[in-house]
Amino acid sequence: MIAVVGSLNLDLVVPVPGHPVPGETVLGGDIALHPGGKGANQAVAAARLGGNAALVGRIGEDGAAGVLLDAVREEGVDTTHIARTPGVPTGRALIAVDPAGENSIIVSPGANSRLGAADCEAAEDLLRKAAVTVLQQEVPDEANHAAARLAGGIVLHNPAPAVAGAVPPPHVDLLVPNRTELAALSGRPVPETVEDVVAAARGLTWAAAVTVTLGGDGVLLLEGASHLHIPAFPVRPVDTTAAGDSFCGALAVALAEGRTLEEAVRWACAAAAISTTRAGAQPSLARRDEVEAFLAR
């Protein structure tokens, strides 16, 4: 069992000719609605890869809540621990995309911001039994700390997005930042070279192991005094949205199946590479048979 503690957002995507400056109104194209949120994306990523995934989260009582609940349920995610918050809107992300593909995003966390320690305590049975508990930073630190404390298995923390002032749990088994998130956690500039990444990750002694995702450059895996560079699979990416979510979900599945960290990272790189070849967040996430076929090429 994989327990994901995290956010559910309805993504509202509007194409715009250019991003508005303060005081300006721009007319955009037709709006598209997509289920999103890092918690939901990672739970769906795990479920699609054959993981037995459950999501601990909060939604409101509005129309968006039903859309998001149906979306994760249809993927086979256990929704028992998704609670309703009366009088608070479901999380939404307002995303404007210009013709160059540049995004500007406003996230209104809504119900996600009400997830607390009590929600994790209510899910104690799940968290104790889960082989892997997966955390991110779109819900309050308090929820992540409680989940890490109650987790009976591996705690995987993806410190995304890089929120200023976020306090990660005092101990995690596996930390999965990208370069920007590593910079935020280490208080250093965004690392450019392998040496920079190693130096920044080494300071994070509260994490037993660190896998730094480097986009098309793959992953740097640090465990104890050793580090290993695992290259990305060569693909033609069309949209790297949710590559990190795909990677985290896949890593959780592989670790829950008892693979070594190095094997798990390679497998997760394959799942993430596939996701970059398709548009969107949840629609791009790979299925298990696709990963097996990709690796057997």
Task: Point out which residues bind ligand ADP (CB under 6 A).
Answer: 160, 178, 213-216, 218-219, 232-233, 235, 237, 240, 243-244, 247, 269, 272-273, 276
Q: How far is the CB of 276 from ligand ADP (least distance, A)?
A: 5
Catalytic residue among 125, 196, 245, 289: 245
**Based on CB atoms, which residue is closest to ligand ADP, 14 or 235?**
235
**Based on CB atoms, which residue is closest to ligand ADP, 111 or 291?**
291
Q: How far is the CB of 257 from ligand ADP (least distance, A)?
A: 19
What is the spatial distance between Cα 2 and Cα 77, in angstroms, rounded to a whole number? Answer: 10
**Based on CB atoms, which residue is closest to ligand ADP, 112 or 246?**
246
The yes-or-no answer on residue 245 being catalytic is: yes
What is the spatial distance between Cα 254 and Cα 190, in angstroms, rounded to a whole number? Answer: 29
What is the spatial distance between Cα 245 and Cα 242, in angstroms, rounded to a whole number? Answer: 5
**Based on CB atoms, which residue is closest to ligand ADP, 133 or 276?**
276
Q: Can the peptide bond before residue 161 be classed as cis, meaning omega within 30 degrees of 0?
A: yes
Name, in order, each residue with C-beta under 8 angstroms of 227's C-beta and a sequence gap of 6 or more: 194, 198, 201, 220, 221
Beta bridge partners of 15: 97
Q: How far is the CB of 108 from ligand ADP (least distance, A)?
A: 21
3-state helix, strand, coil in the chain (%, to 5): 35, 25, 40
Q: How far is the CB of 75 from ligand ADP (least distance, A)?
A: 20
**Based on CB atoms, which residue is closest to ligand ADP, 57 or 218?**
218
**Distances from the Cα of 247 to the Cαs of 164, 203, 269, 270, in angstroms?**
23, 23, 6, 8
Strands 53-59 and 103-108: unpaired
Which residue's beta carbon is nearest to the bound ligand ADP? 244
What are the DSSP E strand ranges found in 24-171?
32-36, 53-59, 82-84, 91-97, 103-108, 132-135, 154-157
Q: How far is the CB of 172 from ligand ADP (least distance, A)?
A: 17
What is the spatial distance between Cα 160 and Cα 188, in angstroms, rounded to a whole number? Answer: 17
**Based on CB atoms, which residue is closest to ligand ADP, 120 or 243?**
243
Q: How far is the CB of 10 from ligand ADP (least distance, A)?
A: 20
Name, in order, each residue with C-beta under 8 angstroms of 244's C-beta and a sequence gap of 6 or more: 158, 160, 176, 178, 213, 272
List strands edge to edge, sheet with 226-230: 82-84, 53-59, 2-5, 132-135, 154-157, 172-175, 207-213, 219-223, 226-230
Do the beta carbons of residue 154 and residue 255 sit within 8 Å?
A: yes
Residues with active-site annotation:
245
